[in-house]
């Protein structure tokens, strides 16, 4: 059964189209990844799913119910871990979780019990009386998660839950996502970190300029570009590189300069490395290092959008 069905969803801010006729279905039990660079439209999509933003057009069905018509039902079944931390500094960890679980509709003994369980789940049970100002970034992120899961929603939406935290907390959060999924939750997981999405997601949508430009398992996405590779050439003086000239070399599909590295997207099976290197030598551009990569989600993204995930 589809837990979420989006049809022709559109959001405009003035004349700017942030989400552009998007359609998407997510089955129960998936960990579904939204992968996209800054401003792609991920949070806007999520905010419409959770009812925080009004859509201009289209339909959003959750467990078969039109979201805009069944606010209370949706509130019960969705938990949102927002991109910006939503916790109160002057409430203790326990009070924070209890407050949000209350908003989601829990009351009385059940509220108390689920609050404790959620804090245990994110490893903050012994910190329940502490205030967020004494927490590390990772602990705040975990508290943010506890606030979204205490009411045991069927669909948990996590909007960049691992931004700006240490590797240990990141691993903890990724393990929690898996555990929640094993317990029966469907997860929408948003990130710019390709490695995370690749590690945990069952399916992935690559979002760019408000549109889904590719969707599938990581294997399916990689198979879209099995005929290409990316050559990374780090140089001393990137300003002197003539992108058009490299573009003219046989087999080269795309060239981009990111900081000191020239990224050359090239067809597999075309042996053009000598010509590429010759360009740099002939133009007296010093090569510092050279690396060649097989397709991964980062190169899929680069091929489909012409940009890197994290520099656009
Ligand atoms: N309230 C708003 N008013 C005007 N423009 C907005 C508003 N909210 C978002 N936008 C614009 O819509 C686009 C999509 O933004 P959104 O926050 O959905 O991107 P995102 O994919 O979540 O990016 P990030 O990875 O940086 O979180 C951006 O260009 C953003 O500037
Ligand atoms: Mg966002």
Condensed to tens digits (0 to 9), the pLDDT of residues 98-142 reads 999 999 888 999 999 999 999 999 999 999 999 999 998 899 999
Of 11, 14, 40, 55, which is best to mutate to test ligand 1, by the most ligand atoms within 8 angstroms of its C-beta?
40
Condensed to tens digits (0 to 9), the pLDDT of residues 7-30 reads 999 999 999 999 999 999 999 999
Q: Which residue has the higher pLDDT, 228 or 64?
A: 64
Cβ 151 under 6 angstroms from ligand 1: no
**Position 306 pLDDT exceeds 90:** no
How far does residue 160's CA lie from ligand 2's centre (Å)? Answer: 7
Where do the structural domains in the chain lie, given as residue ranges? 2-217, 227-294
* Domain covering 2-217, topology: Rossmann fold (3.40.50)
**Position 179 pLDDT exceeds 80:** yes
Cβ 18 under 6 angstroms from ligand 1: yes
User: Are residues 310 and 257 in contact, defined by beta-carbon separation less than 8 angstroms?
Assistant: no
pLDDT of residue 310: 62
pLDDT of residue 239: 93
Closest protein CA for atom 25 of ligand 1 = 38
What is the pLDDT confidence band of residue 299, given thresholds at 50, 70 and 90? Answer: confident
What is the pLDDT confidence band of residue 53, given thresholds at 50, 70 and 90? Answer: very high
Percent of the chain with pLDDT over 90: 70
How far does residue 110's CA lie from ligand 1's centre (Å)? Answer: 37
pLDDT of residue 68: 86
pLDDT of residue 309: 67
**Position 238 pLDDT exceeds 70:** yes
CATH number of 227-294, picked from 3.30.465.10, 3.30.70.980, 3.50.50.60, 3.90.25.10:
3.30.70.980
How far does residue 103's CA lie from ligand 2's centre (Å)? Answer: 23
- For residue 309, give the nearest of 127, 38, 34, 47 by alpha carbon: 38
What is the pLDDT confidence band of residue 298, given thresholds at 50, 70 and 90? Answer: confident
Condensed to tens digits (0 to 9), the pLDDT of residues 29-42 reads 999 999 988 899 99
């Amino acid at each position: 059964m589809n837990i979420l069905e989006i049809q022709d969803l559109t959001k405009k801010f003035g004349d700017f189209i942030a989400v552009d006729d998007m359609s998407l279905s997510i089955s129960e039990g998936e960990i579904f990844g939204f992968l996209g660079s800054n401003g792609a439209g991920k949070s806007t999509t999520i905010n419409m799913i959770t009812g925080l933003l009004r859509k201009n057009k289209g339909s959003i069905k959750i467990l078969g119910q039109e979201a805009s018509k069944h606010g209370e039902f949706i509130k019960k079944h969705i938990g949102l871990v927002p991109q910006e931390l939503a916790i109160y500094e002057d409430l203790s960890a326990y009070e924070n979780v209890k407050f949000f679980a209350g908003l989601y509709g829990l009351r009385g003994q059940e509220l108390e019990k689920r609050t404790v369980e959620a804090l245990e789940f994110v490893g903050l049970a012994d910190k329940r009386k502490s205030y967020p100002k004494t927490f590390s970034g990772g602990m705040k992120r975990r508290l943010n998660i506890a606030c979204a899961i205490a009411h045991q929603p069927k669909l948990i939406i996590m909007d960049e839950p691992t931004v700006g935290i240490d590797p240990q907390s990141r691993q903890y959060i990724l393990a929690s996502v898996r555990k929640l999924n094993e317990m029966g939750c469907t997860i929408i997981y948003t990130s710019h970190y390709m490695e995370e999405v690749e590690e945990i997601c069952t399916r992935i949508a690559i979002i760019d300029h408000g549109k889904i430009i590719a969707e599938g398992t990581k294997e399916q996405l990689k198979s879209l570009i099995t005929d290409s590779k990316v050559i990374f050439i780090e140089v001393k003086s990137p300003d002197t590189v003539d992108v058009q000239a490299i573009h003219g070399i046989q087999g080269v599909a795309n060239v981009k300069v990111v900081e000191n590295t020239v990224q050359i997207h090239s067809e597999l099976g075309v042996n053009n490395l000598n010509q590429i290197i010759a360009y740099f030598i002939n133009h007296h551009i010093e090569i510092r290092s050279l690396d060649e990569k097989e397709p991964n989600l980062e190169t899929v993204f680069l091929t489909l959008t012409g940009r890197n995930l994290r520099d656009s």
